Structure 1
Amino acid sequence: MSTKRRRIGWLILLLPLYAACSATYIGQSGRLGGSDWRTASREPVGLAPDPATTPEAVVQVYAARTISWRGYFGVHTWIAVKRSNASEFTVHEVIGYRLRRTGTTVVTRVRPPDGRWFGAEPDLLKDVRGPGVDALIDRIETAVQNYPYADTYRIWPGPNSNTFTAFVLRDVPELRVDLPPTAIGKDYLGVMPVALTPSGTGGQVSVLGVAGVAAGWEEGVELNLLGLTFGLDPLSLSLKLPLLGRIGPDEHEPLIVD
């Protein structure tokens, strides 16, 4: 079969799923619309606790659809932390365009942890609180400093913002975060083909984030093909599909760490 025919075959297979996803997200408050990114909302959506009334330490992990057409395929993820009695959240994330400006893609700054990502409403993936969370924040900050791809950014297959979040989460497996299948780049492991899953509850094999398999208590079983993730999570009775993400129950209740 010629290369051209193979490409046409892939387009035929993906077109119905792409159309369904497009209709779904366009119908949901237009969060993937063509608005100007410079004027898009960055307002918080009410998923983060108010530091003024929340003395305990908090770690939250978020995902939001990316800008423009890329949002149909993938999400941007980030980690927000607040130490005990702190008056504000600090957000750790990777932003590609910052590389030319500052020489690093890693951005650590004070901002609303649940702010819209250029208009896209974020999803809360994990909320961890309690007296033991300050120690987890220490390890998160160490992992942020040790991120090995701070001088490199590729939308596909990585390293990108999801590669960064997955790297940090692997160093703090107590968070047990299952990144969504739309977090393209989460499976990028560099030249090392074997690692823990991002949740730290299983293992995975990946060839430069382009092809691989993963199995874990939190993730279930996942197949990564050309950066697209297909999976089944028997624990939560969820399916994982490209573009559409997880189809099944969500858990947003805070996890208390003793």
Structure 2
Amino acid sequence: MRYIRWLLYVILFFWVLLSGPVMVLLFGNITTDNTWQDKQNSRANLAPPTTIPQAVIQIYAARSFGWQGAFTVDTWIVSKRLQATHYTLYQVVGWYQQMNASVLTMQRLSEKQAPDNYWYGQPPFLLADLRGGEEVDALIDRLENAAVAYPYKNTYRTWLGPNSNTFTAYIARQLPELRVDMPTTAMGKDFLPNGDIFAVAPSGSGGQISLYGIIGLTLAVNEGIEFNFIGLHFGLDLFDMAIRFPGVGRIGFE
């Protein structure tokens, strides 16, 4: 009977972990075919126009393509310097690895390339939006230096990391002024560089412990209490009275 009880506990545990992604896969708006091409030039209109004089740093997230979108989002960063008339994109793209190229791209966007384009048919949402003058320009200097120092330019693993969310979380830890609360659905965010076990939380408002993204715990003001197991996260925002659930994300008050 003891073994049966433990087996039931294990089944219940994995049911809790996987029920969210299963619901998203069955009932969510996940892109699983080529219909995303109809929206590849669609904009979310979250980025300010390049005509504004302000410096800008924004971080975006959108559901991944295919069944992976039931579990995770992809993230990217854009910046615009003071008085500049273009954006720069900082992004890790996994399929670049298949071409033996660096998975990290730092690209000046043309007038036809919007920083807030739909991602494989999925609308992006903002994780950070900082605008200002010389103080934001100085942060862009730090952003670029941190991107150059990213240790996994030639390595990409969808599950656990390092992936696009590993990169964004890495940058966020270098720029705590952004106060980035990485979503529960950002698989790979807890893969700490260089085999580290302890780190500052991406928001800069607490700390975390993580073993190669396999298992870990985050305690922070912005993130709340968040537990990670095999890349699936669940937790509780004590201050905002919200829960964090695998696949679904944050449920509660804003």
Query: Which residue in the other structure is 2:185 paired with?
Result: 182
Which residue among 116, 123, 133 is the counterpart of 1:114? 116
* Residue 230 of structure 1, CA deviation: 0.9
Contact 1:62 1:125 in 2 (8 A): yes
Instruction: Give the SS at the match of 1:181.
Output: coil
Contact 1:61 1:80 in 2 (8 A): yes
* Residue 124 of structure 1, CA deviation: 0.9
Matched, 1:50 2:49: yes
- Closer/same/farther in 2, CA of residues 163 and 39 from structure 1, 3 Å limit: same
Query: Which residue in the other structure is 2:85 paired with?
Result: 87
What pairs with 1:203-242 in structure 2 (closer than 5 Å)?
Answer: 203-242=207-246
* Residue 217 of structure 1, CA deviation: 1.8
- Amino acid of the structure 1 residue aligned with 2:63: R
CA–CA distance in structure 1, aligned partners of residues 16 and 208 of structure 2: 27
Instruction: Give the SS at the match of 2:94.
Output: coil
- Closer/same/farther in 2, CA of residues 66 and 238 from structure 1, 3 Å limit: same
Where does structure 2 lack aligned partners over 5 or more consecutive residues? Answer: none
Please list the CA deviations of residues 29-75 of structure 1 after superposition, one character each: whole Å capped at 9, or x if unmatched: xxx132217725222111111111x1100111110000111000000
* Residue 248 of structure 1, CA deviation: 2.4
- Closer/same/farther in 2, CA of residues 40 and 144 from structure 1, 3 Å limit: farther
CA–CA distance in structure 2, aligned partners of residues 25 and 38 of structure 1: 15
What pairs with 1:240-251 in structure 2 (closer than 5 Å)?
Answer: 240-250=244-254
- Closer/same/farther in 2, CA of residues 223 and 12 from structure 1, 3 Å limit: closer
Which residue among 160, 163, 171 is the counterpart of 1:157? 160
* Residue 20 of structure 1, CA deviation: 2.7
* Residue 10 of structure 1, CA deviation: 6.0
CA–CA distance in structure 2, aligned partners of residues 15 and 203 of structure 1: 26
Instruction: Give the SS at the match of 1:174.
Output: helix
CA–CA distance in structure 2, aligned partners of residues 24 and 58 of structure 1: 36
CA–CA distance in structure 2, aligned partners of residues 83 and 240 of structure 1: 34
Please list the CA deviations of residues 74-102 of structure 1 after superposition, one character each: whole Å capped at 9, or x if unmatched: 00001110011111111101001112325
* Residue 9 of structure 1, CA deviation: 6.0
CA–CA distance in structure 2, aligned partners of residues 16 and 152 of structure 1: 30
* Residue 17 of structure 1, CA deviation: 3.0
Instruction: Give the SS at the match of 2:39.
Output: coil
- Closer/same/farther in 2, CA of residues 15 and 157 from structure 1, 3 Å limit: closer
Contact 2:150 2:167 in 1 (8 A): yes
What's the RMSD between the two structures over aligned residues?
2.1
Query: Which residue in the other structure is 2:102 paired with?
Result: 104
CA–CA distance in structure 2, aligned partners of residues 35 and 194 of structure 1: 40
- TM-score by length of structure 2 reads 0.88
- Closer/same/farther in 2, CA of residues 217 and 157 from structure 1, 3 Å limit: same
Instruction: Give the SS at the match of 1:246.
Output: strand
Query: Which residue in the other structure is 1:167 paired with?
Result: 170
Query: Which residue in the other structure is 1:63 paired with?
Result: 61
CA–CA distance in structure 1, aligned partners of residues 153 and 43 of structure 2: 27
- TM-score by length of structure 1 reads 0.87
Identity of aligned residues (%): 42
Contact 2:20 2:245 in 1 (8 A): no
Contact 2:17 2:246 in 1 (8 A): no
Query: Which residue in the other structure is 1:29 paired with?
Result: none
Instruction: Give the SS at the match of 2:57.
Output: strand
